[in-house]
Amino acid sequence: MEALLSKPARNKMAAIFGLGLGVFYMISATVSYLQASHFFPFYAAKTIGYILYFVLMGLCAARIRKANGGYISFKDMYSAVIIMILISSTIYFIYNFIYIEYIDTQFVYKLKSAMITWMEQMKTPDEAINSTAEKFDKQIAESQKFNLGNNVLGYFSNILVDCLVGLLVAVINRKTPPLVEQSF
């Protein structure tokens, strides 16, 4: 059985889905960033957004398989997933940088405050709270200096994690056609 989608058509479809996933990534990030002053809601929103991102990616992958006649090899599915991840992660990376640098310049301070408040509520010893505050201060000071190397490393680290989860999405959505015996 031949594939109904050519490689360029499949890649175009994956790119369009990647744009949609990128927009979703931005929206879910904004929802979680608005909760930065509250420890649990922030991390809950981040976790739920990340899970929904991969559920949506799985649905997009299923649409690509369906457009391909219901069957697609692992290689073709994973390449489509990689395209979706690269596009959506790039959109998220740019948005994240703009949000933290220009939209909410107090974001990291809100996060620090929320973490310290949570630690105090959990009756954490003062030494641990002070140590955490110092680590936050050091990270904040380092983030004030733009470092292209660290930013690119963070970007590729996120892509690596996304690609590992994307493997699962590709495995779930791949479907090879049944072998048909040919009679002579």
pLDDT tens digits, one per residue of 44-79: 999 999 999 999 999 999 999 999 999 999 999 999
pLDDT value for 148 = 72
Provide the phi-psi class of 181: left if phi over 0, else alpha when psi is between -120 and 50, else beta: beta
Locus of tokens 């219901």: 70
Strand partners, 175: 72
Q: For residue 175, report the phi and psi dihedrals to the nearest 5 degrees.
A: -155, 115
Whether 51 and 25 have beta carbons less than 8 Å apart is answered as no
Q: What percent of the chain has pLDDT over 90?
A: 62
Q: For residue 72, report the phi and psi dihedrals to the nearest 5 degrees.
A: -160, 140
Locus of tokens 């991969």: 54
Give per-residue pLDDT as tens, 70-105: 999 999 999 999 999 999 999 999 999 899 889 988
Query: Treating both helix axes as pointing N-terminal to C-terminal, what angle do 126-144 and 107-121 enclose, rounded to 10 degrees?
Result: 170
Q: Give the Å distances, CA to CA, from 73 to 39, 56, 58, 66, 172.
A: 42, 20, 15, 12, 11
Whether 124 and 61 have beta carbons less than 8 Å apart is answered as no
**Whole-model pTM?**
0.86
